[in-house]
Structure 1
Amino acid sequence: MATFNDIIKQHPLVLVDFTASWCGPCQVLAPILKDVKAHYEEALSIVKIDVDKNNALAANYKVQGVPTLILFKDGVQVWRQSGVLQLAQLTAVIDSHRK
Structure 2
Amino acid sequence: MSKFGELIDLKIPVLLDFYADWNEQSNTMHAVLRDVAAALGDKGKVIKIDVDKNKELAQALRVKGLPTLMIYKKGEMVWRQSGEQDANTLIGILKEYV
The interval holding the TM-score normalised by the smaller chain is over 0.9
Hey, what does 1:31 align to over in structure 2?
Answer: 31
Hey, what does 1:75 align to over in structure 2?
Answer: 75
Hey, what does 1:49 align to over in structure 2?
Answer: 49
> How many pairs were matched up?
97
- Taking structure 1 as the reference length, the TM-score comes to 0.92
Q: In the aligned structure 2, how far is the partner of 1:40 from the partner of 1:66?
A: 23
Structure 1 residue 11: Cα displacement:
4.9
Hey, what does 2:87 align to over in structure 1?
Answer: 87
After superposition, what is the alpha-carbon deviation per residue over 1:42-90, rounded to whole angstroms, capped at 9, x for unaligned?
1111111110111110011110011000000111100000011011111
4+ residue segments displaced more than 6 Å: none
- Taking structure 2 as the reference length, the TM-score comes to 0.93
Structure 1 residue 10: Cα displacement:
3.8
After superposition, what is the alpha-carbon deviation per residue over 1:17-62, rounded to whole angstroms, capped at 9, x for unaligned?
0000101001111000000010011111111111011111001111
RMSD (CA atoms)? 1.2
Identical counterparts, % of pairs? 36
